[in-house]
């Protein structure tokens, strides 16, 4: 069994979209300060953290993009949705800022030699992280799905898909439409994934990426992991 860490780091001022809160992480306690009780000295280290639910590698809960009062918050989402079989499609050839359509997804599925099945998690490797992380382009130049591509995934009956970028579609209309497809077709997506290149050509594998139990949360950071060699 091999575990592949698919999570990106959360750190002070890590990249976030401008319509989400910034990530602030600072020292709260350090080992420079000691407390003493009955002759025993003790010190602790701890951090103060303030950031939005949609920071780092994270999942969108339905309530994030669905105004229906009955839309699920992240603490209401079934845990089974975060422990699934999965596949990775290699789209690393697509240009930055490009729109990934149905034909690209169909070709990637065929090239992978796998079939996307109901209740799969589908990870989309577009080599965006490799090409842009650490530069301003990371938040602006990512490839993204078209509405029709999102509908194609939804028609497969998947639980969710995941991308490296901060949004599943190109900024503006495409991004709004992809979120609305998720709403209308009853599935969701993850953003901010890493190391997807390590899954190309690996066939089927186990995906695990549980969210925090945030009451009423519209999303949550996750620690996504791929488990290889489970014989799926």
Residues with Cβ within 8 Å of 75's Cβ and at least 6 positions away in sequence, in order, are 213, 214, 215, 216, 217
Q: What is residue 14's predicted lDDT score, i.e. its pLDDT?
A: 97
Token pair belonging to 124: 């989309």
User: What's the average model confidence in pLDDT over 37-51?
Assistant: 96
* 230: confidence class by pLDDT, cuts 50, 70, 90: low
C-alpha span between 139 and 171 (Å, rounded):
10
Residue 120 CA: distances (Å) to CA of 136, 138, 181: 32, 27, 17
C-alpha span between 143 and 133 (Å, rounded):
14
- What 3 state SS string does 195-210 have? CHHHHCCCCCEEEECC
Mind giving me the DSSP string for 53-75?
A: SSSSSEEE-HHHH---TTPPPGG
Q: Report whether pLDDT(229) > 90.
A: no
Using DSSP, state whether 219 is helix, strand or coil: strand
Tens-digit pLDDT profile for residues 87-96 = 999 999 999 9
Residues with Cβ within 8 Å of 232's Cβ and at least 6 positions away in sequence, in order, are 85, 203, 204, 205, 206
Tens-digit pLDDT profile for residues 160-197 = 999 999 999 999 999 999 999 999 999 999 999 999 99
Map out the domains of the chain with their CATH numbers: 58-228 (3.50.30.50)
Tens-digit pLDDT profile for residues 52-93 = 999 999 999 999 999 999 999 999 999 999 999 999 999 999
Using DSSP, state whether 98 is helix, strand or coil: coil
C-alpha span between 194 and 134 (Å, rounded):
13
C-alpha span between 65 and 160 (Å, rounded):
14
Residue 170 CA: distances (Å) to CA of 121, 190, 192: 21, 15, 14
Q: What is residue 101's predicted lDDT score, i.e. its pLDDT?
A: 98
Q: What is the mean pLDDT of the chain?
A: 97
Phi-psi region of 203 (alpha: psi -120 to 50; beta: other; left: phi over 0): left
**Residues facing residue 169 across a β-bridge:** none
Q: What is residue 9's predicted lDDT score, i.e. its pLDDT?
A: 96
Tens-digit pLDDT profile for residues 198-216 = 999 999 999 999 999 999 9
User: What's the average model confidence in pLDDT over 113-126?
Assistant: 97
């Amino acid at each position: 069994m091999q575990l592949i860490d698919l999570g990106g780091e959360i750190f002070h001022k890590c990249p976030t979209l401008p319509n989400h809160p910034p990530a602030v992480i600072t020292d709260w306690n350090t080992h420079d300060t000691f407390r003493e009780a009955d002759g025993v000295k003790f010190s602790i280290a701890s951090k103060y953290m303030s950031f939005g639910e949609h920071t780092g590698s994270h999942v969108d809960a339905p309530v994030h993009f669905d105004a229906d009062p009955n839309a699920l918050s992240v603490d209401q989402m079934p845990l089974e949705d975060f422990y699934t079989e999965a596949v990775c499609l290699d789209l690393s050839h697509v240009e930055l800022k490009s729109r990934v359509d149905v034909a690209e997804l169909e070709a990637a599925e065929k090239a992978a030699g796998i079939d996307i099945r109901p209740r799969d998690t589908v990870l989309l490797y577009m080599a965006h992280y490799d090409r842009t992380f650490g530069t301003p382009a990371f938040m602006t130049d990512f490839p993204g799905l078209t509405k029709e591509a999102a509908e194609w995934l939804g028609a497969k009956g998947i639980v969710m898909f995941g991308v490296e970028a901060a949004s599943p579609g190109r900024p503006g209309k495409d991004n709004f439409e992809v979120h609305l497809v998720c709403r209308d077709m009853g599935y969701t997506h993850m953003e901010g994934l890493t190391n997807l290149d390590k899954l190309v050509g690996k066939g089927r594998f186990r995906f695990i990426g549980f969210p925090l139990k945030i009451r009423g949360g519209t999303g949550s950071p996750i620690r996504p992991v791929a488990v290889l060699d489970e014989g799926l």
